[in-house]
Structure 1
Amino acid sequence: MRFVPPRVHGVLDYLFAGLFIVAPFWFGFVSRVAQLSSFAFGGAILLLSLLTRYPLGVLRVIPFPVHGGIELVSSVALIALPWLGRFGDTPVARNFFVATGVILFGLWLTTDYKAAEQDQAGAWRRGLHGRA
């Protein structure tokens, strides 16, 4: 069931970060909390992606399975955020956060989080000490 490889996951992470950063403008969020939450989540996923040990990571300090755990918690938080942030009565922002939370949960369910670690271990065994 886990068929999304690390490289594809990385591309989706960066696209997701960009989506959250532009969403308040693109969708016209009227709630200030929704706007700030979207910017914060976009920045957080960008930072997480840059720091993750997978093909599109830059510093590669966070193991990919840990990245997955953070995404699982984030997916639940995104779904709950409209009500926790008191913008559940604004349909556009509410639907955006719930939909992206569901999509992120689906990505978590289908990503092979062990593949990046296995690729890295294989590279070390082959003597390729650079980035995998």
Structure 2
Amino acid sequence: MKIISPRAHGYLDFLTVIIFLLAPVLLNLSQVPAILAYGLAFVHLAVTLSSGFPVSTIRIIPFTLQGWIERVVGPVLIAVPFILGFTEEVIARNFYIVMGIIIIAVGLLTDYQGKNRSY
């Protein structure tokens, strides 16, 4: 069941950017998880602003392609603490695992073919 519209997905994307920007300070992340969070905030914002849905500005990435990007990003975020070696930093590890699960869930619930997408 696809209960998240393209417009709502866009708002959730902006919320995701804010979460990644605030996480290093609020969660007191060490250097690698913090730098990664800031980088992900920037990349997520760039993709959000350039995707084909109502809250974007540039619209060069089809909204369906954004869906495929998120299908990759979610599982990668879950794996990142293990790949980059910060599994012992419990808060950072759990943050990335939870964010990965949330991105997967939002992706599964989003109507990427919705009528209020731009293309």
Shorter-chain TM-score above 0.5 = yes
Q: TM-score range by the shorter chain?
A: over 0.9
Q: Name the structure 2 match of 1:130.
A: none
Cα RMSD of the aligned pairs, angstroms, is 1.3
Give, in whole Å, the separation in 1 of the partners of 2:109 and 2:54. Answer: 17
> Where in structure 1 do 4 or more consecutive aligned residues deviate above 2 Å?
118-121
What count of residue pairs does the alignment treat as equivalent? 119
Give, in whole Å, the separation in 1 of the partners of 2:24 and 2:69. Answer: 23
Q: Name the structure 2 match of 1:129.
A: none
Shift of the alpha carbon at 1:21? Answer: 1.0
Where do 1:1-132 residues align within 5 Å?
1-30=1-30, 32-116=31-115, 120=118
Structure number, greater radius of gyration? 1
The percentage of counterpart residues that share the same residue type is: 32
SS in 2 for 1:62: coil
User: Which runs of no fewer than 5 residues in structure 2 stay unpaired?
Assistant: none
Give the TM-score of the pair, scaled to structure 1. Answer: 0.86
Q: Deviations over 1:43-94 (max 9, x none)?
A: 1110000000100010011000000000110001100000111101100000
Give, in whole Å, the separation in 2 of the partners of 1:69 and 1:81. Answer: 18
Greater length-normalized contact order (CA 8 Å, ≥ 6 residues apart) = 2
